[in-house]
C-alpha cells in the first residue's frame, strides 16, 4: 500500500512541476538571436509571423514592407558589416520529445513586397549563421523561416520571423 501511495504521490508531483511545457513556451525556444558581427551586443529584434507547431497553425501576418519599415526602429549598420543569426538546434516539444532544426531560409523583402529575394547564409558553426548586409544603403526587411523535424509530421514544425535593418555607407 505504501508503494502505491508513493507512486501516486510521485506522479502528482511530476505532473504539477511543469514538466509539460506549453506550445507557446516551445515556440519561444525558436526565437533567433540576431546580432551584428561588428557589435555583438547590438540586438536586432525579430517578430514572429506564423508557425505550424504540434498540430496548431496560425495564419501568416506579413506586414507590407513600407508599413514595417515605417513603424519599426531599425538597427543601423554600415555596408561592410555582417549579420549573425543564432538559432537553437533542439527544441523540447514534449516531456521527453525533442525536435531538431532541419534547415533555415532567409529572404529579403523588397519595398514593393514582390518577389522575395533569397539570401545566402553561411553556417559558421552549429546553430550560428552569417550573411553580408546589402552594399546599397537603405532600409531592408527580412523573413527568416526555421524548419524543425516533426514527430510523425512529414513537414515537421516551422516558425517564421521578420526583422529589419538600415544600411548606411
List pLDDT tens digits, range 34-47. 999 999 999 999 99
Does domain 21-168 correspond to CATH entry 3.40.91? no
Three-point CA angle 74, 78, 81, nearest 5°: 100
Q: Rounded to two decimals, what is the model's pTM?
A: 0.81
Higher per-residue confidence, 94 vs 9: 94
pLDDT grade for 25, boundaries at 50, 70 and 90: confident
pLDDT grade for 27, boundaries at 50, 70 and 90: confident
What is the rounded (10 degree) CA torsion for 47, 141, 114, 145? -50
pLDDT grade for 15, boundaries at 50, 70 and 90: very low
Is residue 133 classed exposed, middle or buried when 0-12, 13-18 and 19+ CB atoms within 10 A define those classes? buried
Alpha helices per DSSP H over the chain? 2-16, 23-28, 65-71
pLDDT of residue 59: 78
pLDDT of residue 43: 93
pLDDT grade for 18, boundaries at 50, 70 and 90: very low
Task: Give the number of other CB atoms < 10 A from CB of residue 132.
Answer: 15
pLDDT at 153 over 80: no
Residue ranges covered by each domain of the chain: 21-168
List pLDDT tens digits, range 53-101. 877 888 777 788 888 888 888 999 999 999 999 999 998 877 778 889 9
pLDDT of residue 61: 73
Amino acid at each position: 500500500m505504501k508503494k502505491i501511495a508513493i507512486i501516486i504521490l510521485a506522479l502528482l508531483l511530476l505532473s504539477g512541476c511543469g514538466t509539460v511545457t506549453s506550445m507557446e513556451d516551445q515556440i519561444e525556444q525558436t526565437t533567433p538571436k540576431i546580432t551584428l558581427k561588428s557589435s555583438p551586443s547590438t540586438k536586432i529584434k525579430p517578430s514572429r509571423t506564423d508557425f505550424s507547431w504540434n498540430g496548431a497553425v496560425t495564419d501568416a501576418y506579413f506586414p507590407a514592407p513600407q508599413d514595417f519599415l515605417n513603424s519599426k526602429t531599425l538597427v543601423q549598420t554600415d555596408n561592410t558589416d555582417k549579420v549573425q543569426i543564432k538559432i537553437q538546434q533542439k527544441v523540447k516539444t514534449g516531456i521527453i520529445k525533442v525536435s531538431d532544426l532541419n534547415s533555415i531560409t532567409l529572404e529579403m523583402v523588397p519595398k514593393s513586397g514582390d518577389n522575395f529575394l533569397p539570401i545566402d547564409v553561411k553556417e559558421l558553426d552549429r546553430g550560428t549563421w552569417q550573411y553580408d548586409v546589402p552594399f546599397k544603403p537603405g532600409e531592408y526587411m527580412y523573413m527568416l523561416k526555421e524548419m524543425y523535424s516533426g514527430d510523425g509530421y512529414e513537414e515537421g514544425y516551422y516558425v517564421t520571423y521578420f526583422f529589419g535593418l538600415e544600411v548606411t555607407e
